[in-house]
């Protein structure tokens, strides 16, 4: 279930590039796109919480977030971190991404940005939040190699040093965002966490708009439709499913599964924008899909409520109580 949620999230995020391109064709500026995206998503999530108050309750008890590699946090700090994830992390990541996009080709930007699964895996292992298993290592290699083939299969790209630096900064920011989210994802319901993140991002972008003279909302009516698609599909649904998947899989696996996103983008570009997939890209897509299969290879199914000392977050039997407790804590929706 966790893998399926991560893949659904990657699919929704992958569609954003197509929606964004169509929005740009309708006269929407990057500043207007970002502000409307996050503001509309915050409003929609707030409305969902008003209509369905039961969604405000997390699925697991708050104390389960206190695991090795994760700090003990009060409820107030959890709320502040959630808002800060949007105000600082998500807003910064989106700003870096679209700034880099103005300087370099989208394929090379995506290639540099998708170094973040490697960064997440390495940092999560160093922090003691995940263990580097052979299956996870094989999946990481397959997903990274597949992503490389998908993106480089598009042909020649232009290189811009500043753009590359911004793109790598985007990857680093998103790595931090995922690891911070891993500390609070058990303590807040996915809808609540997503609403706080969107509110924080909208607040930062709104303040920036005020300081820079506002954003231009004078674009064609079709632009609003594509903005709605970005806000609903590629933000609300994508964010909810990512947080729910992260809660169940852990940061490394969630990041590796997210490499499915550029495969989705390339496939949609073929069907919607008339672009063609090369044999190299098809081979890359197959590698990414194989990483998903590798991550799902596991032993016999276990009861959903075993003793935490016997199970890690991937469901494998382990003898270490500390490792089991640490991994259980990370079960639980970019740019």
- Residues 34-74: tens digit of each pLDDT: 999 999 999 999 998 998 888 787 665 444 444 455 556 78
Q: What is the pLDDT of residue 295?
A: 58
Per-residue pLDDT reduced to its tens digit, 108-161: 677 677 777 777 877 888 888 777 777 777 777 777 777 677 666 655 555 577
Q: What is the pLDDT of residue 202?
A: 93
Question: What does each C-alpha distance from 168 to 48, 97, 151 come to in angstroms?
Answer: 35, 9, 16
Nearest CA among 257, 295, 294, 279 for reference residue 12:
257
Q: According to the model, what pLDDT value does residue 312 have?
A: 34
Angle between the N-to-C axes of helices 161-184 and 91-101, in degrees from 0 to 180, rounded to the nearest 10: 160
* pLDDT, tens digit (0-9, with 9 covering 90-100), for 166-205: 988 998 999 899 888 888 888 888 889 889 999 999 999 9
Q: Is the pLDDT of residue 81 over 50?
A: yes
pTM of the predicted structure, to 2 decimals: 0.68
Q: Which tokens is 123 given?
A: 């940092």
Q: What is the pLDDT of residue 301?
A: 38
Whether 198 and 237 have beta carbons less than 8 Å apart is answered as no
Q: Where are the domains of the chain?
A: 2-298
For 272-278, the CB contacts below 8 A with 24+ separation are 272/18, 273/18, 273/21, 277/153, 278/153, 278/154, 278/155
Give yes or no for a contact between 187 and 13, defined as CB atoms under 8 angstroms apart: no
Q: What is the pLDDT of residue 150?
A: 65
Distance CA 47, CA 43 (A): 6
Q: What is the pLDDT of residues 231-285, one digit of tens each?
A: 999 988 988 888 888 778 877 677 777 777 777 777 777 777 666 666 776 777 6
């Amino acid at each position: 279930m966790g893998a399926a949620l991560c893949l659904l999230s990657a699919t929704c995020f992958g569609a954003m590039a197509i929606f964004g391109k169509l929005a740009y064709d309708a006269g929407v500026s990057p500043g207007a796109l970002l502000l409307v995206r996050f503001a509309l998503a915050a409003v929609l999530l707030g409305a969902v919480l008003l209509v369905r108050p039961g969604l405000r309750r997390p699925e697991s008890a708050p104390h389960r977030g206190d695991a090795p590699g994760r700090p003990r946090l009060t409820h107030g700090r959890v709320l502040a971190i959630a808002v800060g994830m949007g105000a600082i992390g998500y807003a910064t990541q989106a700003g870096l991404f679209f700034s880099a996009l103005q300087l370099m080709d989208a394929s090379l930007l995506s290639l540099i940005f998708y170094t973040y699964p490697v960064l997440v895996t390495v940092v999560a292992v160093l922090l003691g939040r995940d263990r580097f298993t052979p299956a996870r290592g094989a999946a990481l290699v397959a997903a990274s190699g597949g992503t490389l083939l998908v993106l480089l299969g598009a042909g020649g790209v232009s290189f811009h040093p500043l753009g590359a630096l911004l793109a790598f900064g985007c990857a680093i920011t998103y790595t931090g965002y995922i690891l911070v989210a891993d500390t609070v994802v058990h303590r807040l319901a996915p809808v609540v966490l997503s609403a706080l993140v969107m509110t924080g991002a909208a607040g930062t972008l709104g303040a920036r708009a005020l300081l820079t003279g506002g954003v231009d909302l004078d674009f064609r009516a079709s632009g609003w439709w594509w903005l709605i698609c970005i806000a609903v599909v590629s933000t609300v649904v994508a964010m909810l499913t990512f947080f729910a998947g992260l809660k169940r899989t852990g940061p490394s696996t969630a990041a590796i599964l997210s490499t499915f996103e550029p495969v989705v983008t390339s496939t949609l570009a073929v069907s919607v924008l008339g672009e063609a997939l090369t044999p190299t890209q098809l081979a890359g897509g197959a590698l990414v899909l194989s990483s998903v299969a590798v991550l799902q290879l596991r032993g016999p199914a276990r009861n959903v409520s075993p003793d935490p000392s016997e199970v890690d977050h991937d469901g494998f039997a382990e003898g270490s109580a500390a490792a089991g407790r640490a991994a259980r804590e990370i079960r639980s929706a970019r740019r």
